[in-house]
Amino acid sequence: MFADGLPGFLTESWITPVLFFSMLSVMLLLLVKRGKFLYALRNVPYPTALPVIGNAYQLNCSTEEFFKKLVKWAEQFGDIFLIWVGMRPFIFLYKAEAVRPLLKSSIHIDKSLEYEYLKPWLGTGLVTSNAKADRREDQQSVAWVDPRILDISKCCNAAAPLSHDYLHMQQYSNVM
């Protein structure tokens, strides 16, 4: 019944090749899927990343330094770039013009796994909801985004340095 301590069905000649080719075909399917995914990202620029860990070594810093790096990379690579954290890419959209097609889309509204960590803090809404949550509410929110928002964001971006300087002066004037 048992040869060399193995059950009889594992010692038969046909089961080993079937298991081997099954595992090989699953691995090949996963490899092809990953290859298609990487091929879709081929034109998105990104900072030099190390194999396996990606850009994770560059992100071991304070929040302020992290955002400074993001701004530097946006200036270097453009409005759309990605960062590899391990084997997972994170795509950053730096300007409102780059975000607008995604907000208007009825296809690209599913959120990634990382948004699950924000739900206890932010609740469910436009930022954390997914396509199944409340499609009608999402469509109303997306309909609200129109070209005038981009004009307002340009004004806000132009006024931001002045506001920053004013707040900075107020901070130090209240200390004294």
d(C-alpha 77, C-alpha 48), whole Å: 11
Amino acid 176: pLDDT: 45
Task: Give the per-residue pLDDT at 36.
Answer: 95
Residue 138, pLDDT > 80, answer no
pLDDT at 47: 92
Distances (CA, A) of 127 to 32, 97, 109, 149: 32, 18, 10, 17
Band (pLDDT 50/70/90 cuts) for residue 6 is low
- What pLDDT digit, counting tens, does each position of 59-99 carry? 898 888 988 999 999 999 988 999 999 999 998 888 888 88
Q: What is the pLDDT of residue 45?
A: 93
Choose among 115, 149, 143, 30: nearest CA to 125. Answer: 115
Q: Which of 45, 36, 118 is nearest to 84 (CA)?
A: 45
Q: List CB contacts of 131: < 8 A, sequence separation 6 or more.
A: 109, 110, 138
Angle at 37 between CA 34 and CA 43, to 5 degrees: 135
Q: For residues 47 and 107, which has the higher predicted lDDT (pLDDT)?
A: 47
Q: Domain limits of the chain?
A: 45-109, 110-144
The model's confidence at residue 113, banded by pLDDT at 50, 70 and 90, is confident
Span 32-51, pLDDT tens digits: 999 999 999 999 999 999 99
Torsion of CA 150, 84, 41, 138, to 10 degrees: -40
Q: Tell me, what's the pLDDT at 42?
A: 92
Whether the model clears a pTM of 0.75, i.e. scores above it, the answer is no
**Tokens read off for 62:** 């304070």
> How do beta strands 80-85 and 88-93 pair?
antiparallel
